[in-house]
Amino acid sequence: MSTAAEQARAWLAQDPDPVTRSELEELLAAADDGDSAAAADLDDRFAGRLAFGTAGLRGRLGAGSNRMNRVLVAQAAAGFAAYLLERAGDDVPTVVVGYDGRRNSDVFARDSAELFAGAGLRAILLPRLLPTPVLAFAVREFGADAGVMVTASHNPPDDNGYKVYLGGADEGSQIVSPADAEIAAHIQRVADEHDVTRLPRSVGYEVAGESVVDAYVAATAAVAPAPASAEGLSWVYTAMHGVGWETFSRIVDAAGYPAPIPVTAQIDPDGAFPTVAFPNPEEPGAMDLAFEAARDAGADLIIANDPDADRLAVAIPDQAADGGWRRLTGNQIGLLLGWRAAREAAERGEVDGRSLACSLVSSPGLAEIAAHYGLDFRATLTGFKWISRAPGIVFGFEEALGYLVNPATVRDKDGISAAIAMLGMAAEARGRGATVADLLDELGATFGHFASDQISVRVEDVSQISDIMAALRAQHPTSIGDVAVDRVDDLLAGGGDLPSGDVVRIWLTDGSRLIVRPSGTEPKLKLYIDVRGDSSADADARLAATADGARALLDALG
């Protein structure tokens, strides 16, 4: 096996990027001079390949096969083109490419478009940096065979990624198995057999006109046109240094809502994300500037998107919260939006064969809402690649701030259409003198008071996670705290209506639920807790007691 230094020199021979070439040359020189840190860095960069999976590619920018860079993206584009050509037979596949405001997103997107065109595909590049939901929309709007979005969503600033969608029967959803393995095999062949500088390229790709953005704006504004009671609604918006604002502002205007108070320091795209340590509205501190703006304005609510605008965060005034504002959980937003979708489906008389869907680890309250309105309910594995494929879906969500509210046009999470739907709910409540907090109370009174929590255990050695999962399967707990275990579902083998996955679901006799699974992206074990109480206070008390019992279980297993 070649050394990391030998692999690095071979990499340099095909790297078209002067930045990563210089980076690698400096590392090689330092390693040759005996710098152990430089040698360790080289080893890490060439320890393997950044894996292509159902989430596409995602990783830190830099030179090397274990980083995101122009060589890796060229191999991915050429491999994906080969997959699409093989799938298309005698037809010419069409692929749409979009990109956000992260560092190198535009470069990776143009490289991809040139390589797709050079391989004989019809390649369409979106006209400028745009939200991920616009790319998902464009795949269907153009009747394309596939789409690629260059984004790392809410990852750290030094990351970028390559998200892949399929058209046709997949209706613009993200890829699922076995497509991921088939695409990965093509990419590996390209990496093994080709110098990327010799791959055919063409500037004969198309650049989409503004009409595709106009169509997305019109379709999304129609999700929730502003009622008369929207007048006077005061709200704050942050784009989290991402690409959401330009598109979202047009939709807000087209739908008839008053303009928000913008968090000006975060409103424009900036791949350095200068005001946040981590550009994810779930992270502590990420929404502090929005809270400050809302306090100053006496606003009714806060709307936030993540950097590629496929996620939505909402915050409301709460005098009991530190700083007077409280960010709603993903489950709370999901249940509110699911309630809205189910009610509207029932009013249209469109419930037969239609469903609400959420990931297994999201609130079971959505099943109650579905049953109340006569809709089917589908629980899926985590990820919108699964949620979007639920038969007859009218709404889907996952607790990590992802919501699918407009499946007729976007088969992926869409933080912009979800934001419009939330503005509609807030405005309608305002028309009868209520707030979003009142809507949450009404939700609990109608469907039950649900509360959720999550415990994450980070490990140094990923084998610890498999050891804990094996121990849990070998000896199921008989109780969690003072509450007996009713039954345990092991989803490893699937079966019945359960999807297959490395997940253990524990049901307690009081109706509470614990789900244990490895993280799909980090060296973490995750435990999700859901309870239902007779009141909001009762649910909070049950949640605290169950969380204490869950921590004791993890201590015993680990």
Query: Span 474-501, mean pLDDT?
Result: 85
Q: In this structure, are residues 45 and 61 in contact, taking their beta carbons and an 8 Å threshold? A: no
pLDDT at 220: 98
Query: Span 482-493, mean pLDDT?
Result: 91
- CATH number for the domain harbouring residue 309: 3.40.120.10
Does residue 339 share a domain with residue 270? no
123-150: per-residue pLDDT in tens?
A: 999 999 999 999 999 999 999 999 999 9
Q: Is the pLDDT of residue 499 over 80?
A: no
Q: Is the pLDDT of residue 283 over 60?
A: yes
Q: Is the pLDDT of residue 496 over 70?
A: no
Does 46 map to a domain? no
Contacts of 17 (CB under 8 A, 6+ apart): 63, 69, 70, 71, 107
For the chain, give the percent of residues with pLDDT over 90. Answer: 89
Does residue 138 share a domain with residue 81? yes
Q: In this structure, are residues 184 and 53 in contact, taking their beta carbons and an 8 Å threshold? A: yes
pLDDT at 509: 95
Q: 364 is in which domain, residue-wise?
A: 330-413
β-partners of residue 507 are: 487, 513
Does residue 203 share a domain with residue 124? yes
pLDDT at 89: 86
Does residue 549 share a domain with residue 462? yes
67-78: per-residue pLDDT in tens?
A: 999 999 999 999
R_g of the chain computed on alpha carbons = 24
Does 23 map to a domain? no
- Model confidence at 495, in pLDDT bands (50, 70, 90)? low
Burial class (CB in 10 A: 0-12, 13-18, 19+), 436: buried
- Model confidence at 178, in pLDDT bands (50, 70, 90)? very high
Does residue 283 share a domain with residue 259? yes
Which amino acids are annotated catalytic? 153
327-369: per-residue pLDDT in tens?
A: 999 999 999 999 999 999 999 999 999 999 999 999 999 999 9
Other beta carbons within 10 Å of 204: 11
Q: In this structure, are residues 419 and 336 in contact, taking their beta carbons and an 8 Å threshold? A: no
Does residue 173 share a domain with residue 112? yes
Does residue 548 share a domain with residue 459? yes
Does residue 463 share a domain with residue 535? yes
Query: Span 148-158, mean pLDDT?
Result: 94
465-487: per-residue pLDDT in tens?
A: 999 999 999 999 999 999 999 99
Does 538 map to a domain? yes
Structural domain ending residue among the three candidates 299, 327, 355: 327
- CATH number for the domain harbouring residue 552: 3.30.310.50
Query: Span 79-89, mean pLDDT?
Result: 95
Name the pairing type of β-strands 159-166 and 57-60. Answer: antiparallel
**What is the DSSP track for 95-140?**
EEEEE-SSTTHHHHHHHHHHHHHHTT-EEEE-SS---HHHHHHHHH
Structural domains of the chain, count: 4
Structural domain ending residue among the three candidates 327, 347, 371: 327
Q: Is the pLDDT of residue 521 over 80?
A: no
Q: Is the pLDDT of residue 497 over 70?
A: no
Does residue 278 share a domain with residue 171? no
Q: Is the pLDDT of residue 409 over 60?
A: yes
Selection from 56, 374, 59 nearest residue 184 by Cα: 56
Give 57 or 519, the one with higher predicted confidence: 57
| Mean pLDDT, rounded, of the chain | 94
Q: Is the pLDDT of residue 500 over 90?
A: no
pLDDT at 81: 98
- The values of phi and psi at residue 30, to 5°, are -65, -40
Structural domain ending residue among the three candidates 360, 395, 413: 413
Does residue 482 share a domain with residue 372? no
Name the pairing type of β-strands 312-317 and 301-305. Answer: antiparallel
pLDDT at 530: 96
181-193: per-residue pLDDT in tens?
A: 999 999 999 999 9
